[in-house]
Amino acid sequence: MRILYEDEYLLAVLKEAGMPVQSDKSGDASLLGLVNEYTGSDCHIITRLDRPVGGISLFAKDKVTAAKLSEMIRENRADKIYTAILCGKPLCGGHIEDYIFKNERTNTSKIVNKGNIGARLASLDYDITESSRYYTLVRIYLETGRHHQIRVQFAHLGYPLYGDTKYNDKYRHKRGIFPALFAKELKFIHPITGEEVYIKADEDPVRDLFERLKVN
């Protein structure tokens, strides 16, 4: 577990792709378990990444901080920036807004009409960083945090994520690969001190993967 930021109230660590944030039926070691062992207390998950996704994971060390941070996230008062590789070449970046429904039974999500029961608004902006013959590296500014949101919205747009075994037919049900998605940066106002906190992962495995892919 690599620590990116820590103070009396908060802890941000780098999550590896494939590690669950909290315990699941697999029984594999969870990031929350490691965080609790490190701090010696019961911490609270603030930014919840899908198991196959790596990047910055933020935890609060107490209930008061957790409540304030969770409200901040819900109200879109934090900047959450990701990098991803899309299959295909969109002409330009822009804004994506959809309604998403989560199927609890299958642990998948899909785009639905606004009026559907259980539909929740999902929105993001994205810029194109670089394109190759078959793939596009993008920078994503996540406005909401719905279940599998980035993966579902780009698949619906016609540009599924490279390596996504749930929403990209090319990789569906394959094992040992992960979607090319990485939580790269996080910026917010500290809920206790009022200071701006900016956390950035130095490495970017998604960009590194794109560099390897574009020569093919």
Backbone angles phi, psi at 111, to 5 degrees: -80, 130
Cα separation, 39 vs 201, whole angstroms: 21
Give the lowest-confidence range in 76-90, 111-125, 161-175: 161-175
Residue partners of 127: CB distance under 8 A and separation at least 6: 93, 138, 139
Q: Are 23 and 51 in contact (CB under 8 A)?
A: no
**Mean pLDDT comparison of 105-109, 116-120, 181-185, highest-scoring range:** 181-185
Is CATH 3.30.2350.10 correct for 2-213? yes
pLDDT in tens, 63-73: 999 999 999 98
The reply to whether the predicted model has a pTM over 0.75 is: yes
SS3 2: strand
- Which of 189, 165, 194, 192 is CA-nearest to residue 79? 189
